[in-house]
């Protein structure tokens, strides 16, 4: 019996040692992988810095040697005169990168401004034609709406919380947003002014189509996939007023 007991204890001890060794080996492999990923992260990030400073053509072998010397606390393998030349070159490249970035920003701003002007012209022409349709009604703010389904009941107020289904398109019919059959709940103070006004014309069960001038939507700013000065068309079903 004692012999069997010793064998059992020895087996448990060996299993414990084996499990501990496996755990240590797994920890070591995980640490090696972590250090590898850490090195890659710093290398990739530094590569982005080189590109931003217009220095992607730097010699990679010398770069790695410089990293090794720095980590090992060795003095730089460059004379004072060489360092001065490099400092000046780095500053020159950084100034070039800054000038290029500012030039791109100016060009992008001009492109956005031109797009906003074009969208406004196209959108206002659309609204002018749309207003001629007999089924379209307009409010003092310029909101245009069509009643697709009309019910009897109290209207929403500016402070109401509503539940709706909706579908939003550009004037070319392209869908940019929709509830997809899953009702959405929100307060009328939380949405664009065209929605706040338009939903106050509606009762539970109504379906309206709103045609919104940019001043009643998102204006001259780009929001997500909505370009600046976009006229937006919304089909809205008011399910509930809370």
Predicted local distance difference test score (pLDDT) of residue 22: 59
Question: From the candidates 126, 145, 166, 208, which is the catalytic residue?
Answer: 166
Judge whether residue 241 has pLDDT over 60. Answer: yes
Judge whether residue 24 has pLDDT over 80. Answer: no
- What percent of the chain lies above the pLDDT cut of 70? 89
Predicted local distance difference test score (pLDDT) of residue 30: 82
Judge whether residue 14 has pLDDT over 80. Answer: no
Q: Is 177 a catalytic residue?
A: yes
168-197: buried (b, 16+ CB within 10 Å) or exposed (e) per residue? bbbbeeeebeeeeeeeeeeebeeebebbbb
Q: Is 176 a catalytic residue?
A: yes
Predicted local distance difference test score (pLDDT) of residue 201: 97
Question: From the candidates 69, 171, 186, 192, which is the catalytic residue?
Answer: 192
Q: Are the C-beta atoms of 164 and 237 separated by less than 8 Å?
A: yes
Pick from 96, 106, 10, 86: nearest CA to 76: 86
Average pLDDT over residues 118-146: 97
Pick from 212, 209, 208: nearest CA to 230: 212
pLDDT digits (tens, 9 = 90+) for 162-181: 999 999 999 999 999 999 98
* Location of structure tokens 């002014």: 193
Average pLDDT over residues 32-36: 86
pLDDT digits (tens, 9 = 90+) for 174-221: 999 999 989 999 999 999 999 999 999 999 999 999 999 999 999 998
Domain 78-242 architecture: Roll (3.10)
- Separation of alpha carbons 197 and 29, rounded Å: 63
Predicted local distance difference test score (pLDDT) of residue 11: 57
Judge whether residue 50 has pLDDT over 70. Answer: yes
Q: Is 166 a catalytic residue?
A: yes
* Location of structure tokens 């289904």: 165
Using pLDDT thresholds of 50, 70 and 90, give the confidence band for residue 222. Answer: confident
Using pLDDT thresholds of 50, 70 and 90, give the confidence band for residue 60. Answer: very high
Q: Is 218 a catalytic residue?
A: yes
Model-level pTM?
Answer: 0.68
Per-chain mean pLDDT for the chain: 90
Structure-block tokens of residue 239:
């399910």
Average pLDDT over residues 9-13: 52
pLDDT digits (tens, 9 = 90+) for 96-126: 999 999 999 999 999 999 999 999 999 999 9
3 state SS of 148 = strand
Question: From the candidates 69, 147, 177, 239, which is the catalytic residue?
Answer: 177
Question: From the candidates 126, 145, 208, 234, which is the catalytic residue?
Answer: 234
Which range, of 40-54, 188-202, 224-238, averages the lowest pLDDT? 40-54
Question: From the candidates 170, 218, 236, 241, which is the catalytic residue?
Answer: 218
Going from N- to C-terminal start, the domains of the chain cover: 2-71, 78-242
Question: From the candidates 176, 186, 226, 235, which is the catalytic residue?
Answer: 176
Judge whether residue 29 has pLDDT over 60. Answer: yes
């Amino acid at each position: 019996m004692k012999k069997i007991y010793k064998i059992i204890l020895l087996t448990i001890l060996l299993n414990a040692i084996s499990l501990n060794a496996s755990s240590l080996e797994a920890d070591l492999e995980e640490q090696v992988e972590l250090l590898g990923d850490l090195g890659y992260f710093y290398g990739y990030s530094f590569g982005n810095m080189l590109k931003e400073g217009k220095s992607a053509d730097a010699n990679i072998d010398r770069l790695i040697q410089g990293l090794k010397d720095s980590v090992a606390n060795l003095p730089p393998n460059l004379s004072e005169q060489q360092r001065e030349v490099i400092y000046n070159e780095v500053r020159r490249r950084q100034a070039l990168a800054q000038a290029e970035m500012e030039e791109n920003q100016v060009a992008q701003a001009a492109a956005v401004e031109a797009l906003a002007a074009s969208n406004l012209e196209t959108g206002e022409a659309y609204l002018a034609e749309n207003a001629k349709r007999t089924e379209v009604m307009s409010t003092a703010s310029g909101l245009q709406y069509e009643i697709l389904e009309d019910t009897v009941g109290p209207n929403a107020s500016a402070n109401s919380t509503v539940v709706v289904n909706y579908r939003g398109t550009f004037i070319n019919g392209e869908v940019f947003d929709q509830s997809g059959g899953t009702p959405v709940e929100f307060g009328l103070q939380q949405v664009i002014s065209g929605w706040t006004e338009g939903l106050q014309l509606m009762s539970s069960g109504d379906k309206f189509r709103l045609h919104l001038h940019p001043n009643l939507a998102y204006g001259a700013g780009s929001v997500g996939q909505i370009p600046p000065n976009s006229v937006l068309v919304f089909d809205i079903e008011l399910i509930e007023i809370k």
